[in-house]
Amino acid sequence: MKAAIIGGGVIGGGWAARFLLNGWDVAVADPDPEAERKINEVLAGARRSLPAVYDRALPAEGTLSFCALEDACAGADWVQESVPERLDIKHTVLDRVNAAAPDSAVIASSTSGFKPSELTAQGARCIVAHPFNPVYLLPLIELVGDVPAGAADMLRSVGFSPLHVRKEIDAHIADRFLEAVWREALWLVKDGIATTEEIDEAIRMGFGLRWAQMGLFETYRVAGGEAGMKHFMAQFGPALQWPWTKLMDVPEFTDELVDLIAGQSDAQSGHLSIRELERLRDDNLVGILRSLKRTNAAAGGVIAAHEASLPQPSASPEALPITQDRVIPQTWTDYNGHMNEAHYLELGAAATDRFMEMIGADAAYIAEGLSYFTTENHLQYLDEMHAGDRVRVSTQVLEGGPKKMHLFHRMMNPAGEVAATMETFLLHVDLGTRRSAPARADVAEALAAFGQAHAGMPRPEGAGRYVGQRG
């Protein structure tokens, strides 16, 4: 698959990263002589953060190229226009795109405010696919217009969550909320009620955390208590008549107001560069997205669904199966700057879970009331691993019986060297009695097949070690 990115700014760079890191070839067209440098800086941030959201490896990166608009569009499956928000510029660019792109290509604009009817007024074919920054991390895409069949599925295949806007409207859906909040914030600063930092504190310490997982209406439904949304609206509905906000009344953008807000913003975060702020933002988003993924909630559900579509390594018993292939997230590192010891155990436990799936002891098996319980682990820490490192875990069966499973996991760094090992012993358990019991016949047979295939392999160095034993 090929994506053409027309315009290589912050948004265009984010689109390029999202497609590229999901295995698409990407061609970027931008007359800016600094475009290649800027795109590569965005890619560096994306490579650090997007794979860290997942517990499986993303596809191998596609090929990135920089070329003229016509060459970028040739053979493209998706063309994304992300040029400045001027209708005359967009009309000119879209005319060229329509002449160069295949008839089968989806042609979309990243516009924050223009309607599809405005973009296509001169005859160009185009829909709106409005993303949110950083495009490579945030899943939402607002689709507006006559969306071609298969377009939404293409976006889902790279981890987006498409929202088809029912009717075209200026600024679509999400930016209309942001604009209302922005207008009120300007008044609060202008009237001396709050500083830029205090307004940001009100959002990030309060309702912003709720909105990240529940949105607006679900948050208010909970606020209504057991009586629900009707009670909330009856209780707080009259407040809509009170002069709490100024809504469409906007303060004049005088030099004094701009200087006031810019000065407060500089005092708030001017000690950090833009790249440092982006890394901080992305690290925080990775943590939030991973937390939401664990509960399959909101944006985390999109990540979980996309992760489930990523291929798993081979489960053949003839060689040591790869039971984990992933990138180490920033949330797994500690004050020493490397992967925290507890997460080696988490990685090994995930490898055990994957091996259980390979032999048929999967979620359906557990739902039937059968599983394996770990009774003992032994970890060896042999080398450091860091955030962003791709780690692969191979698993060797040392013993596999009707009630027992004895595994040895090797955790390998990007160079293929063993950075840690985990030896683990498990008993098969009947979840009804919480006591050991024989595995189901097909599971026992699959485990035995791995055990027989691995029996002729050398015993792993470190197997059977005890704590403190000399090498």
Binding residues for NAD(+): 7-12
Cβ proximity of 5 and 12 under 8 Å? yes
Q: How far apart are CA 351 and CA 159, in angstroms?
A: 24
For 290, how many CA atoms within 13 A lie in the half-sphere containing its CB?
19
Cβ proximity of 444 and 402 under 8 Å? yes
Q: How far apart are CA 28 and CA 31, in angstroms?
A: 10
Binding site per annotation, positions: 7-12
Cβ proximity of 77 and 154 under 8 Å? yes
Pairing of strands 435-436, 390-400: unpaired
Residue 88 falls in which region: left (phi positive, over 0), alpha (psi -120 to 50) or beta: alpha
The residues, any chain, with a CB within 8 Å of residue 179's CB and separated by 6 or more, are: 171
| Residue-wise burial string across 164-201, b where 16 or more C-beta atoms lie within 10 A, e elsewhere | ebeeeeebbeebeeebeeebbbbbbbeeeebbbeebbe
| Residue-wise burial string across 352-366, b where 16 or more C-beta atoms lie within 10 A, e elsewhere | bbbbbebbbbeeebe
DSSP 470: -
Cβ proximity of 9 and 112 under 8 Å? no
List, in sequence order, every beta strand (DSSP E) within 316-389.
322-327, 370-381
Cβ proximity of 159 and 302 under 8 Å? yes
Structure tokens at 390: 């791709």
Cβ proximity of 39 and 114 under 8 Å? no
Structure tokens at 15: 């689109």
Q: How far apart are CA 328 and CA 343, in angstroms?
A: 9
Q: What are phi and psi of 83, to 5 degrees?
A: -85, 170
Tell me the three state secondary structure of residue 206: helix
Among positive and negative, which fits the CA dihedral 255, 259, 265, 271? positive
